[in-house]
Amino acid sequence: MTTLDYLNLFSGMMLLLYGISQVSANMQIIAGARLRTYLGRLTRNRLMGVVTGTISTALLQSSSATSVITVTLVGSGLISFTASLGVLLGANVGTTLTVQLISFSLQDYALFMAGVGAAIRFFGRQDRTIYIGRLVLGFGLIFLGMKFMGASVEPLRHNTEFFSLFIDGQLSNLWLLLGAFIFTAVVQASAATVALALSFAASGLIDFHSAMYIVVGSNIGTGVTALIASFGTNVAARKTALANITFNTIGALAIIPFLPLIHTSFFLEGDIARNIANFHTMFNLALTLVFLPLIGLIAWLMNSIIREPRPAKGQQEFTLDRNLLSTPDLAIQQARMLSIKMQDECRRMLEDTYALIESYDSTRAWDIRRRDDRLDAMNLEVRLYLTSLSHREMSFEESHQVFDIINYCTTLEYVGDVLVKNISKLARKLHRENIHLSTQGMEELRELQQMIMESFELATELFAHGDPGTARQLAKRHQLIRLKEAQLMQTHISRLQAGVTETIATTAIHTDLLVNFERISSSLSRFEPSSVRMKEEVFRATNP
C-alpha cells in the first residue's frame, strides 16, 4: 500500500465514524425526547423492555446511545435498575439492524445519498427538515466511507505476507478480538467496528472466521461507553452500566469456543458481508434469549457487587448531573425538577415569614435564612448548568425551555431575597423594639399575604403548563394586589390620623411591609414563559 492508500483508508474511516455520529445525533434530536418518554413508560416488564430497547436502538442507530440514555434515565430515577436490564438486551438486538442495513451493497449510491442529504440540509428552512437532511447525509457518508476503505485496501489482496498472518495463524484471533474491543471503546460505536470488518471482508482482506472475532470483540467494547457515562452518577446508574458490560463479556466468553462449529455449520456459503451481518444478529439474539430469564439473577449479582453507600454528612442534594448535558431534554428535565424544589422552598418561606410577623421566633427566622441560602445555591446551580447546556446543540423548543427555567428560578430567588433581606428584618425590628401592629393592620396584612400566595400558586401553575389564560389571571391578580396595597395605605393613614397608638409606633415598618409584599407580586407577575409569549403574539397577529 502507498502513502495515498493509507491516507484514503484513514479518510474513509473518518467519514464512516462521522456518518454514524451524524445519524445517531440527528435521530436523537428528531425522536430522542419521545423515545426517552417511551423508555420510561414501556419498561414495566422484561419483554417490553427488550422490545423498547430494540426499537430505540434501531431508530437511534446506536446501541451505545441507547445504553447511555438508559443509564441516565436510571440515574434520574425514571427507570428502575431491574427494568433497565431488558432495555440493554434489546439494544444489542437493535444494533444488528444497523449492521444488516450496512451489509447491503449500497456503496454505489453513497454519493447520491450524501448529495440528497446535503440538498435537504441546504434548502431546508424548518429545524426538523434540516435534521432529516443531516440524517440522510450521515447515511451517505457511512457508505461513502466504506467505499473508500474498500478501495484503499485493494492492494493488500495481492500481498502474500499480509495473508500469511491469518492463514498461518501468526495473528491470533484473540488479538483481533482485543483490537475490536479497544477500537469500539474508543470510537463508541460497535456498528463502526463491524462495518470495518464488512468492508475488509468484502475486499478479501480477512476471512469470515477472523471477522467473527471482530464482531465478538465489538460487542464487549460497546459496553464501555455506558460504563464511562456512569462515572459520577448514582449507584443505580453504575449498576446498570456494569450489568451491560457483564452481559456482553459473559456472552463473548461463552461463544468463543463454539465459533469454529458455528462457522462450519451455518456460514460456509453465501456472500461474506451478509454472513457477517447474520452472525452478528444471531449472536445478539442468542445473548438476549439466554439472559432474559436471568435478569433477576443478574440484578441480584449487581446489587451484591455495588452497594448503596451511606450519604455523606452535609451532602448537597441539589447538585445536577453533568453527564446528562449530552442529552438536552434529560438535562432540562433535571433542571426543571430542581426548580420545583426551589418552588417548594419559596412557598414555605412565604408562609413562615408571615408567621414571623405575627409572632417572632428566632428558630423560625434562622430556618428562613437557611432556606434562602438553599435557594441561592440552587439558583446558581441551575444557571451554571443550563448555561453549559446552552453551548450544546438544542432544538428551538429546548432553547426556550432553558430560558424559561432560568427566568423562573431567578424570580424565585428574588422573592426569597425580599423575604429574608426585607420582610424578615422588619419582623425582627418589631420584636426587638417590642412593638406590635394594630389588630386591623394585622388583618389587612393577612389579606394581602393570602392574595400573594394565590399569585404564587398561579405562577407555579404557569411554569408547569404555560397556559396563556393562567398568565392573564396572574397579571389581573397583580393589578388587584396593587389596588389592595393602595387601599391599605389609605386605611393605615386613616388610623394614623385617628391617633391609634400601635399604628403610630409601627407606621414606618407597616408601610415597608406593604411595599415589599407588592414587590413580590410584581416579580411573580413579570414571569412569562416563552410559549405563552409566542401564543399571545400569534393571537394578536391573527386578531388585529
**DSSP assignment of 108-161:** GGHHHHHHHHHHHHHH--SHHHHHHHHHHHHHHHHHHHHHHHHHHTGGGGG-HH
In the block, which residue shows the cell 430567588? 413
413/168: higher pLDDT: 413
C-alpha of 504 from chain center = 58
113-127, 186-200, 380-394: which range is least confident on average? 186-200
Angle between helices 425-432 and 328-358 (to 10 degrees): 20
pLDDT of residue 321: 75
Cα–Cα distance for residue pair 225/442, rounded to 1 Å: 62
The grid coordinates of residue 331 equal 438535562
Of all residues in the chain, what percent carry a pLDDT higher than 90? 23
Task: Note whether 498 and 375 are same-domain residues.
Answer: yes
Contacts 24+ apart (CB under 8 A), 474-481: 474/524, 474/525, 474/527, 475/525, 477/451, 477/521, 477/525, 478/521, 478/522, 478/524, 478/525, 480/451, 481/448, 481/451, 481/452, 481/455, 481/517, 481/518, 481/521
130/512: higher pLDDT: 512
pLDDT of residue 346: 94
pLDDT of residue 269: 80
150/128: higher pLDDT: 128
Task: Note whether 243 and 349 are same-domain residues.
Answer: no
Task: Note whether 352 and 275 are same-domain residues.
Answer: no
pLDDT bin (cut points 50, 70, 90) of residue 76 is low
Phi, psi of 79 (to 5 degrees): -135, 140
Question: What mean pLDDT is reported for the chain?
Answer: 81
In the block, which residue shows the cell 389588630? 439
* Mean of pLDDT values over 395-421: 90
Number of domains in the chain: 2
Task: Note whether 351 and 260 are same-domain residues.
Answer: no
pLDDT bin (cut points 50, 70, 90) of residue 404 is very high
Q: Using one digit for the tens of pLDDT, what is the confidence trace for 426-472? A: 999 988 989 888 889 899 999 999 999 999 999 999 999 888 889 99
In a domain? residue 320: no
* Mean of pLDDT values over 102-119: 79
pLDDT bin (cut points 50, 70, 90) of residue 530 is confident
Task: Note whether 433 and 537 are same-domain residues.
Answer: yes
Task: Note whether 206 and 354 are same-domain residues.
Answer: no
402 to 388, 389, 431: CA distances (angstroms): 11, 8, 42
pLDDT of residue 422: 92
pLDDT of residue 163: 46
Q: Using one digit for the tens of pLDDT, what is the confidence trace for 161-191? A: 554 555 444 456 788 888 888 888 776 677 7
Task: Note whether 283 and 344 are same-domain residues.
Answer: no
Task: Note whether 358 and 258 are same-domain residues.
Answer: no
CA dihedral (393, 395, 400, 401) positive or negative = negative
- Look at residue 414 and tell me whether its pLDDT is greater than 90: yes
102/242: higher pLDDT: 242
* Mean of pLDDT values over 382-397: 84
Task: Note whether 340 and 488 are same-domain residues.
Answer: yes
Which of the given ranges, 4-13, 18-27, 146-155, has the highest pLDDT on average?
4-13
Is residue 388 within 8 A of residue 322, CB to CB? The reply is yes
Task: Note whether 255 and 350 are same-domain residues.
Answer: no
In a domain? residue 189: yes
pLDDT of residue 167: 45
pLDDT of residue 142: 74
Task: Note whether 280 and 373 are same-domain residues.
Answer: no
Range of the domain at 230: 3-305
Specify burial of residue 413 (Cβ count, 10 A radius: 0-12, 13-18, 19+).
Answer: buried
Cα–Cα distance for residue pair 428/435, rounded to 1 Å: 10
523 to 68, 174, 401: CA distances (angstroms): 40, 66, 19
The grid coordinates of residue 379 equal 439558583
- Reduced to 3 states, what is the DSSP secondary structure of residue 42? coil
In a domain? residue 315: no
pLDDT bin (cut points 50, 70, 90) of residue 392 is confident
- Look at residue 46 and tell me whether its pLDDT is greater than 90: no
In a domain? residue 311: no
91-117 core/surface letters (b: 16 or more CB in 10 A; e: else)? bbbbbbbbbebbbeebbeebeebbebb
In a domain? residue 317: no
In a domain? residue 313: no
- Look at residue 399 and tell me whether its pLDDT is greater than 90: no
- Look at residue 62 and tell me whether its pLDDT is greater than 70: no
In a domain? residue 318: no
The grid coordinates of residue 335 equal 433542571
pLDDT of residue 491: 92
Task: Note whether 296 and 375 are same-domain residues.
Answer: no
Asked whether the whole model's pTM tops 0.85, one would answer no
Q: Using one digit for the tens of pLDDT, what is the confidence trace for 183-234? A: 887 766 777 788 878 877 877 777 888 889 888 988 888 777 677 766 666 6
In a domain? residue 481: yes
Q: Using one digit for the tens of pLDDT, what is the confidence trace for 299-333? A: 888 888 877 655 444 444 567 877 677 778 778 88
Looking up residue 448, the CATH number of its domain turns out to be 1.20.58.220
